[in-house]
Amino acid sequence: MLYRNFEYVKERHNVNGSTSWRCCYYQSLKCKARLLSHGSRVVEDRQPDHTHDGNMSESLARMVVGEIKKAMVDTECSTWTGYDEFSV
């Protein structure tokens, strides 16, 4: 999740339907920033101060690469099926 130029990773789904998120640098930079969301809406910014600067372009690039990888996995089956028809 991107929120205010920072990237967050899903920590857990809560029983009340909300989702807890941590800064993606919580291990490498000891960043304690956290969010709570419900659906697609951020409802609480639990620890707003990060231990690092935000980098929107880097975060967006990482997300795009992830989406491309997922699309490749989703279409791999049909791609390989096409190659099987032309094997010699």
Show pLDDT as tens, one digit a residue, over the chain (88 residues): 888 888 899 999 999 999 999 998 889 989 999 999 998 888 888 777 888 877 777 778 877 887 888 888 777 655 555 555 554 4
Cβ-based burial of 6 (10 A; exposed 0-12, middle 13-18, buried ≥19): buried
H/E segment holding residue 19: strand 19-23
Q: pTM for this one?
A: 0.64
Residues 42 and 64 reside in one and the same domain: no
Cβ of 78: how many Cβ atoms within 10 Å? Answer: 8
Residue 1 domain boundaries: 1-53
Residues 27 and 38 reside in one and the same domain: yes
Residues 37 and 60 reside in one and the same domain: no
Residues 12 and 41 reside in one and the same domain: yes
